[in-house]
A and B are shown apart, each in its own frame.
Chain A
């Protein structure tokens, strides 16, 4: 089986994998980073969003072998030195999660929204930008609040 090497959450990792292995399968099955979830099979739900070279990507849409040398960050890598990322804090503070299954993808997408759109986000922008992430528990109300609060906190 071919070998792939990349940086995941700051660590050099590699694995010999079946060539049809998706990035999300490499993360979950080979690296046992199970914080990245699989909620669908049509790239609709966003539960599997990670950052690849600094940009949000649905990790079910890319073959792991195509990411030789890439820099990947998953939800497990977002907190640094034991300190939660402001977006993680905002999700907890605003009760933006219930079952928690969509949450890793939501948070990774939300950080990416702020990276692209800045720290002042209005409700309409947030709702539009979250179009690639499904949540079945919250009705989105508190997620929208959390993204706005997290965005602001990231600017401080």
Chain B
């Protein structure tokens, strides 16, 4: 392994600009003559707009234009879309209500877009917004899912009289009922998967620009997938044809799912740029982000696990209500369905599974993918059930898992997924060793002597990543294919630009992708540049989410590199006067088999462009190749995390004393970056488990709408992490990569709650396990002990 090759912890190429303040995020981009947009948002969760009077506001200093839903409609600008069709169990299509970029007659959540004010300065736009008079007829709002589906509840969209988007199901109900009928033990559980706000540190932003001379638009935006944004803005919303719309996602300050979606604000900015004849910039402030970024999770679940007389899992049934908010965001419909229920088998052999999911409208912000997207929710159900089942049957939770793990591969679950490879017991055994699981009893006793409660919690998670085979997701309702593209451009002196449809917003692609290219072509890593995030440079791509950039994006690069090497062999054959079949390529040199004749990669590149040595009819000049990679299966990263907590029963404060993570991500390109992804995922998962929660009051006001009210994990809320790995290379892509971006966020919540409930001897501590919630549970435990 070279110091910069595959497997090396190469320091990141992108860091220099970030540590010196030279990153270029969307809000750092300023176009000549730009104006500023400010959105007037609904203060009501549910209201009809009787009258909207902008006359006075339009006369305020600096105001260039004010637009409302009427203007959007007059220009025939289409509504925002949901790109994944889900059918209910009766076969009917999901009930998708219209989602205009600016409200047309009705608002459906606090923060919904009523009008946009465009002015010379942001301050002037804000000032003018206060002069807009809106006559609302306030309607009753509904924020609770159970209330929303009751008869007589306020109707949010006319297309769905009972506020239900779909009643979906997966699995074999009869087989599952039969398993439960013969069960010796049934574990039952009601769970809340708390609503979260993704909160990447960079708020969303957009700069729309229009060039009348070429009739073309440019949109700079905080996107994880600029090509998908262009596709949707062109094909569905109708801003402009694709060849007249350039979307640039420059440095993006974190996404975690929330920047996948195509929102109202960027739609309005790019549309308005032509109307006002000026570039239009909008930057979200954090309060707007809380109100209008798509939120995550928000499930209510009842789940039951059936065991036979030997403690073997024989059946699982799950009924989940998923809050989808007031409108269907871009991929929202898929998150609690196909990204959730197919993971309910976890790492376990469960022959019968049946899941029902009701997607529900409420007067809250749209809910869509947030780091893990469906898979954390599934893992929380499975790992809480498994843990409690072990306790109820008086079995050590580690042994209980070992007994029920899937042991042979490939393994077809009853819920779609065909797990290709894995070694779950290896990860568990390594994690038990690293966490010193066998001595937990001694540590519990030591804590007890100090008046503290200590607990340990295991989480054995699996996820489906590398999303995904296009034909497979197409058959499940996806509106797009989920391949990835790459183009390798070799310059005449042998330096290389790689254009990728993946997008980096913290993942370090400029480094890891360059490692792969440098390694395969045998050229210095500094001679490789990675280009991404611009639809005028990269032809097409599907972007970054679902831990897919390594498994899918790098596989496309790998395939394109194969083609470059094959073409290089042909050029080298002419140069070395040999047949192309006799040319080997290794360590940056093309050589004739069995001879000492060779030519280096840079010289072949030069010869490819000079094209003196070969006839251009037989072999085209140049060295540039592209490839699309469409996976043949999902990838299945899996692992075991173990959390150990110490709780002060007097304050309810949970301190995470140890965190052990053992993950199987298949082949790893850069261990430093992969470990960083694990750390960050755990941080978000612990945030969900211990402190984060988004809450609306009954009237639909978001009462956790700033960093003062919404508890983001800070440095002293989180522990250090002990991270290890096992490895079973993925068989369905040429690099053996499974993906690592979401693992921590998926694994962590049940590990924390299993540890806390172990410490307090109480099965139900809801997330977030705040000091108050834990204090209550701990006080019960202390009282119970005293009574014994």
Chain A residues at the B interface, C-beta cutoff of 8 Å:
18, 20, 28, 32-42, 44-45, 47, 74-76, 78-79, 84, 88, 91-93, 95, 97-104, 107, 123-124, 126-128, 130-131, 133-144
Contacts and interface: CB of A to CB of B under 8 A. Distances in A.
B716 interface: yes
A81 to B, nearest CB: 13
B35 to A, nearest CB: 14
Contacts of A133: 715
A95 B203 CA distance: 23
A139 B505 contact: no
Contacts of A36: 21
19 contacts: A28-B27, A35-B21, A39-B286, A40-B285, A41-B706, A42-B706, A44-B706, A76-B21, A84-B20, A92-B12, A95-B12, A100-B14, A100-B23, A101-B200, A103-B18, A134-B201, A136-B256, A144-B715, A144-B720
B714 interface: yes
B287 A130 contact: no
A47 B201 contact: yes
Nearest to B505: A99
Given A39-B202, A97-B15, 17 more contacts: A18-B121, A35-B23, A40-B285, A44-B707, A44-B708, A93-B11, A95-B12, A98-B508, A98-B680, A99-B253, A101-B23, A124-B716, A130-B716, A137-B506, A141-B721, A142-B676, A143-B715
Contacts of A104: 18-19, 21
B78 interface: no
Contact of B287 (A20, A41, A131): A41
B679 A134 contact: no
A140 B676 CA distance: 10
B493 interface: no
A42 B709 CA distance: 10
A61 to B, nearest CB: 14
A33 B21 contact: yes
A12 B675 CA distance: 44
A95 B506 CA distance: 11
A101 B202 contact: yes
Interface in B12-67: 12, 14-25, 27-28, 30
Contacts of A45: 201, 286, 707
A139 B16 contact: no
Contacts of A143: 715
Contacts of A107: 19
A126 B672 CA distance: 22
Contact of A99 (B201, B285, B712, B744): B201
B729 to A, nearest CB: 24
Contact of A42 (B676, B686, B707): B707
B682 interface: yes
B718 A139 contact: yes
A95 B708 contact: no
Interface of B: 11-12, 14-25, 27-28, 30, 121, 123, 199-203, 251-254, 256, 283, 285-287, 505-508, 672-673, 675-676, 679-684, 686, 706-708, 712, 714-716, 718, 720-721, 744
In order of increasing CB-CB distance, the 4 nearest A-B pairs are A35-B21, A139-B683, A101-B253, A100-B18
Contacts of A93: 11
A5 to B, nearest CB: 22
Contacts of A47: 201
A126 B718 CA distance: 12
B11 A99 contact: no
Interface centre among B12, B673, B707 (most CB of A within 10 A): B707
B279 to A, nearest CB: 15
Contacts of B714: 130-131, 134, 140
A100 B506 contact: yes
Nearest to A101: B253
A53 to B, nearest CB: 20
B659 to A, nearest CB: 9
B19 A42 contact: no
B769 to A, nearest CB: 18
A134 B253 CA distance: 13
B201 A91 contact: no
Contacts of A139: 679-684, 686, 718, 721, 744
A97 B18 contact: yes
Contacts of A136: 199-201, 254, 256, 680, 683-684, 712
Contacts of A134: 201, 707, 712, 714
Contacts of A138: 676, 679-680, 683
A135 B256 CA distance: 13
Contact of A88 (B19, B283, B708): B19
Contacts of B252: 99
Nearest to A47: B201
A126 B681 CA distance: 21
Contacts of A78: 20
A103 to B, nearest CB: 5
Nearest to A139: B683
A41 B290 CA distance: 11
A79 B706 CA distance: 33
Contacts of A124: 716
Contacts of A40: 285-286, 706-707
B287 A92 contact: no
Contacts of B508: 98
A126 B507 contact: no
A18 B715 contact: no
A4 to B, nearest CB: 17
B485 to A, nearest CB: 23
Nearest to B19: A88
Given A42-B706, A100-B14, A102-B201, A95 B744 contact: no
A85 to B, nearest CB: 9
Nearest to B288: A41
A24 to B, nearest CB: 11
In this complex, the member of A35, A75, A98 whose beta carbon has the largest number of chain B beta carbons within 10 angstroms is A98
Nearest to B679: A139
B718 A140 contact: yes
A45 B253 CA distance: 14
A95 B714 CA distance: 18
A42 B286 contact: yes
A101 B254 contact: yes
From B14, B254, B706, residue with most partner A Cβ within 10 Å: B254
B19 A103 contact: yes
**A40, A78, A126 — which one has the most chain B CB atoms within 10 A of its CB?**
A40
Nearest to A39: B201
A127 B716 contact: yes
Nearest to A40: B286
A74 B123 contact: no
B20 A98 contact: no
Contacts of B15: 91-92, 97, 100
Nearest to A92: B15
A104 B202 CA distance: 13
Nearest to A144: B715
The winner among B21, B27, B708 for most chain A CB atoms within 10 A is B21
B707 A101 contact: no
A140 B683 contact: yes
Contacts of B22: 35, 76
Contacts of A88: 19-20
A39 B681 CA distance: 20
A123 B123 CA distance: 42
Contacts of A135: 201, 715
B706 A127 contact: no
A147 to B, nearest CB: 9
Contacts of B682: 139
A146 to B, nearest CB: 10
B598 to A, nearest CB: 37
